[in-house]
Amino acid sequence: MNTIFHKIINKEIPSQIEYEDDNFIVIHDISPQAPIHLLIIPKIFIATINDISNNQLYIMSQMLKIVQILAVKLQVDQTGYRLIMNCNPDGGQTVYYIHMHFLAGKQLNSHFG
Ligand code: AMP
């Protein structure tokens, strides 16, 4: 399996990186749906939420820690933000490498699908 996010993590294609450490990369979505639209991507490859094994669930905690860091860094911790993870076709997943969308910078409407 080789997805566009593998290539981004390996720096084979360019992306606008907001944050990076040993375990995660955070990039700006190429098709932003809000003034701030980031993708939080673990460096360990997992295709979908369904594929996260019990001993990988810690990755979700790490992801939430990064959310908190980003929210403060981007000064949206008080104004607010939305987190989305899509799974499989009905969930709207298009890249089969788990990632969390971080949307902020305006009041998002409350519609779901
Ligand atoms: P999802 O639909 O949840 O799988 O989200 C995939 C997201 O990846 C979409 O919001 C795309 O706009 C975004 N995306 C696809 N290719 C790139 C890229 N090269 N750089 C940044 N974001 C991308």
pLDDT tens, 64-83? 999 999 999 999 999 999 99
Residue range of the domain that includes 42: 4-104
Percent of the chain with pLDDT over 70: 99
Whether the per-residue pLDDT at 1 is higher than 90: the answer is no
Tell me the CA–centroid distance for residue 15 and ligand 1, in Å.
11
Domain count, the chain: 1
Residue 111 lies in a domain: no
pLDDT score at 8:
98
Residue owning the nearest CA to atom 15 of ligand 1 = 30
**Which residues contact ligand 1 via a Cβ below 6 A?**
4, 15, 27, 29-31, 39, 86, 92-95
Find the mean pLDDT for residues 20-38. 98
80 lies in some domain: yes
The CATH code of the domain that includes 99 is: 3.30.428.10
How far is CA 56 from its chain centroid?
16
Non-local (6+) Cβ contacts of 104 within 8 A are 34, 35, 36, 71, 74, 76, 79, 80, 81, 82
- Residue 112 counted as domain residue: no
CA of 31 to the centre of ligand 1 (A): 7
Question: Counting atoms of ligand 1 from 1, which one is nearest the CA of 101?
Answer: 3
Instruction: Report yes or no: 98 and 25 within 8 Å, Cβ to Cβ.
Output: no
Q: Is the pLDDT of residue 48 over 90?
A: yes
Residue 46's pLDDT is 98
pLDDT at residue number 57: 98
Residue 50 covered by a domain: yes
Residue 110 lies in a domain: no
**Per-residue model confidence (pLDDT) at position 110:** 82
Q: Nearest 10 degrees: CA dihedral of 10, 93, 84, 69?
A: 0
Nearest-atom index, ligand 1, CA of 94: 4
113 within some domain = no
pLDDT, residue 111, reads 72
Tokens 């979505």 belong to 29
CA 39 to chain centre: 3
Domain-embedded: residue 109 = no
Is residue 51 assigned to a domain?
yes
